[in-house]
Structures are given as structure tokens and as C-alpha cells.
Amino acid sequence: MRASLLESAAQDAKDQLRRLPSVDRVLKTPRILSLIQTHGRSFVTDEVRALLLDWREAQLIGKPQHPADEAAIEVALCARIEARLAPALRPVFNLTGTVLHTNLGRALLPDEAVVAVARAMRSPTNLEFDLDDGERGDRDALVEKLLCELTGAQAATVVNNNASAVLLTIAALAARREVIVSRGELVEIGGSFRMPDVMKSAGAKMIEIGTTNRTHARDYADAVSARTALIVKVHTSNYVVKGFTAVVGESELARIAHRAHLPFAVDLGSGSLVDLAAYGLPHEPMPQEMLSRGADIVTFSGDKLLGGPQAGLIVGNREWIGKIKKHPLKRALRVSKLTLAALEATLALYRHPERLAMRLPTLRLLTRPVEEIDALAARVLPALSRALWEWAGVTRGALKSQIGSGSLPIDVLPSAGLFIRCRTGRKGSGRQLEGLAAALRALPVPVIGRIKDGALILDLRTLEDETAFVAQLGSLKLPATYS
């Protein structure tokens, strides 16, 4: 009997294989012909072959695709092609509670920057062409005057991120010489990128002074030698040391450096161009403050608190910036016309501080009133509850958002959002929440939240397109573990 059953199963598999249509037959169906018109015969033919091969292999290992008729093949092929052609870089709903989320692209560009980038993409530009004298120009000139106007610097240059800005500054001013830095400022940023590694890569010898929690002016003065090329202060934007501490202010460090005829550089990391305290937020050091206190070079990011594109901005003394611009690494680290277009448009918004909180998305999201966020949560809650049916309960509550990307590490913003919890009595709630988080990420515009304390939390501080968010909840496919 066992042999008979095996023989019957083998015969069924053979019958299934015979029922699979040929590649030519599939290509002649009306729906596939439409796909060919859109995507080309070669691409579609390759996908048909691959799909049929997958189905044949499934038949042979006893996991047949049912049904294996032309209609099912057409549906599967359309889904396959859609998945293949979907862009890898996609918009998402960032409901993590972190406004400037490194993994989700940091700052959102203002509309003016988006328009400027599109314009630069569609047309030749004067990227390195001086329209006044008709000769080759300097691409930094497109934003240098604006950066100097906003920060009070004598000169400025731009590279592709702040780590590059620090690397280039040290390489240009201190290669094969010594750089003095406090032990309490040897930061590590995302991706295990450490300040000592930057120093080493730039060809400089790092001279550590002081201790983790206390560094004094005499530590800097005593470390200066004939081999010293630069004194650096790093703003510890991604952590805070509290308690028995001591740091040396920028003005004092500038005096120590200038008495020894050395340049003094400050790495701000985030770098806000406006006083955030004026908007009810914690104060963050600004480039113009560092320059007014005697810093010769200040480096900071474009896509954090500034609210623009990814870029590393270097502003300061004309002599030192000139040396930085002439270094061979500058060409390797330069930015494209798209970055410059977005940066110029973003910087221009700072000329109108009265309207900045509405026109700059980063500032708009950081200053969003908690009452507005809570009202949004109340409106969204019923739609999310319907989408989840009886599988999970949704409640509204208070939250704490963070700025993110190493900015203001201990300061949080009052926010509001939704808490999704499995119904009482269900086992494996952790797995269920993970499954639901995956289902939300599988929506047409993926929804990214966070799981904490037995709940999937959606912080709504950064949700501005309420209509699009609610509209797609109807297509939420609950994970199998719920059924």
C-alpha cells in the first residue's frame, strides 16, 4: 500500500508539471502582453522563465503551487515584477519618536530645497563657472557668502559630511604633527566611527590631556610643544558627563592656542544656526558663538539641526580655510550640485527667522505643540483599532520624543501617540508584536514604530500626512500568529 501511495504521489507531481504552461504560451496571454508593453520583452521573458522554474522545483520537492493555471501564473508574475522593480529607497512613516533618525534619513528638506534640487537636475548649471567673468569658478562660492553672512565667518567650504569636515581639517592643518584634545571629548558617533580613528586617518598624532571627567586650562598649555599643530575641542553632542566635572571654555582655549600661534578648531557635530531656546527648546551651541569666542575653524553637519542635506560645513578664519580648500582631499570629499542646490535653498530660509519655524521641517517638527499631536492621536486611533480587529487593543497616551542624531542627548520633548498591546490572555505577545511591527513595515508606505514595555508604540510627533497614513491601514495584513 505504501508503494502504491508513493507511486500515486509521483504521478500527481508529473501531472502538475505537465499542466504548467510553456514560456511562449504565458507570453501570449493578454495580461502578460500588457506587461511586455510596459517593461520590455526581454525582462518579462526572463521573469516568466524564472517563475516557471521556481514552480517546477516546488512540484519536485512536494510543495506544489496551487493552482498552477494561467490565471494564477499571471497574478504571481505581476507580483514578482512589481517586487523586482520596486525602488530600494522608499519613503516611510517615521513614528519612532526620534525626529532626526540617522537610519531614516535625518532631516527632511524644505520645499524650497526640493524645488532647487529638481531644477539643478534638469538643467546645466554654473556649478564651477563664474558668470561675471566667463571663466572657471569655485563651487564653494555658491554657498560661501551665505554661510559667512549667517555665521560671521570670514570664509567657508563644504564637504560631504561632518566626519569628512573633521578629517579634512586635521589633514590640512596637522598632518604628521600633533593635535591636542581632551580625553573627555574622544567621542564615538554612529557606526563605531571614533574621533581617535579620524585623527589617525588624517595622519596626525593625537595628544590626550586631562581625564574623562575633568580637564583644565593648564593641561592644554602644558601639552603645547614644537610639534603641536592644532588644538581641538569636540562638542559631546551624543552624551553628557555629570557630577564632578571640569571643562575649559572656548574663549580660554582660543587664548591658549593663539599665544602659541596655533589654530583652534571646534567640532560642533550637530550645529544649529539659530538659538533653539528662542523656540522653547534646549540651547545648542551655534557656529557663530564659537567664532565670536575665538575659534578659527568650526565644523558642523548640514542634515541635523540645520535641517538641510547631508553635508559637512567648515567655517572660520580665511587663512586656515584657504589651506583646507587647497588640500588634495578636498576634491575627493567635495559635494555635488544637488547638495549645493539644497544647501543654498535651506540656508536662504535663515534670512527670514520669523517664518523659519513653519518653513523648515526640522524646526517645525521639534516645536510642534503636544496638544496638536494628542489631537492627531485621537483622530487616528479609531482607524487603527478597526484595522487590528480583535487582535490587539489601541490606547492613546503621553510620550517623550527625542531630537536624535547625537543632538541634545538628555533632553526630550513632550509628545503623544498610540500604544498597541495584545489582548489579555494571548500567549507569545512579544512574537505577536514583532509580527505586527513587520506587517506595518510591509504597508505601501512602511510604518516604523518601536516596541517597548510590552507595547508597539507609534509616536505621532513626526506624522504630518494623516490622510495617507489612515488610508493605507485598510490594506494591513495581520500576521499569521494572530489567527
Question: Mean pLDDT in the chain?
Answer: 90
pLDDT per residue as tens digits for the range 305-318: 999 999 999 999 99
Euclidean distance between CA atoms 283 and 316, whole angstroms? 22
Residue given cell 596626525 in the structure block: 204
Q: Label residues 146-155 b or e (16+ Cβ within 10 Å = b).
A: bbbebbebbb
Separation CA 315–CA 76 (nearest Å)? 56
As a whole number of angstroms, the distance between CA 284 and CA 300 comes to 12
Residue among 297, 286, 283 nearest 254 (CA) = 297
Query: What residues are paired with 455 via a beta bridge?
Result: 452
pLDDT tens digit sequence for 63-85: 665 556 778 888 889 989 998 99
Among positive and negative, which fits the CA dihedral 459, 462, 468, 472?
A: negative
Which architecture does CATH list for 93-102+365-482? Alpha-Beta Complex (3.90)
Report which of 182, 402, 424 is spatially closest to residue 304, judged by C-alpha positions.
Answer: 402
Give the model confidence (pLDDT) of 136-168 as tens digits. 999 999 999 999 999 999 999 999 999 999 999
463 or 428, which is more confident: 463
Cell numbers given for 368: 510642534
pLDDT of 4 strictly over 80:
no
Q: Which cell is 308 given?
A: 538641510
Compute CA distances 5 → 1, 9, 10, 11, 12, whole Å.
6, 6, 9, 10, 10
Percent of the chain clearing pLDDT 70 (strictly above): 89
Half-sphere exposure of 316 (CA within 13 A, CB side): 29
pTM of the model: 0.89
The C-alpha atoms of residue 126 and residue 146 are separated, in whole angstroms, by 17
Closest to 299 (Cα-Cα) out of 318, 319, 313, 320: 313
Every domain of the chain and the residues it spans: 2-85, 93-102+365-482, 111-359
pLDDT in tens, 181-208: 999 888 776 556 688 888 889 999 999 9
Report angle CA 317, 190, 177 to the nearest 5 degrees. Answer: 40
**CA pair distance 211, 446, nearest whole angstrom:** 45
- Whether cis (ω within 30° of 0) applies to the bond prior to 353 is no
Distance CA 135, CA 157 (A): 20
pLDDT range class, residue 411, cuts 50, 70, 90:
confident
pLDDT at residue 121 above 80? yes
Q: Which of 225-234, 284-293, 321-330, 425-434 has the lowest mean pLDDT?
A: 425-434
Instruction: Give the β-pairing of 193-194 and 264-269.
Output: unpaired
Q: Which helix (H) or strand (E) holds 301?
A: strand 297-301
CATH class label, 111-359: alpha beta
Predicted confidence (pLDDT) at residue 48 exceeds the cutoff of 60:
yes
Cell of 173: 592643518
What span, in angstroms and rounded, lies between the C-alpha atoms of 121 and 454?
47
Burial letters 391-426, b for 16+ CB under 10 A, else e: bbebebeebebbbbbbbbeeeebebbbbbbbbeeee
Gyration radius of the chain over CA positions: 29
Chain length of the chain? 483
Which DSSP symbol is given to 213? S
User: Is there a contact between 305 and 404 (Cβ–Cβ < 8 Å)?
Assistant: no
CA distance 288 to 268: 11
pLDDT tens, position by position, 372-391: 999 999 999 999 999 998 78
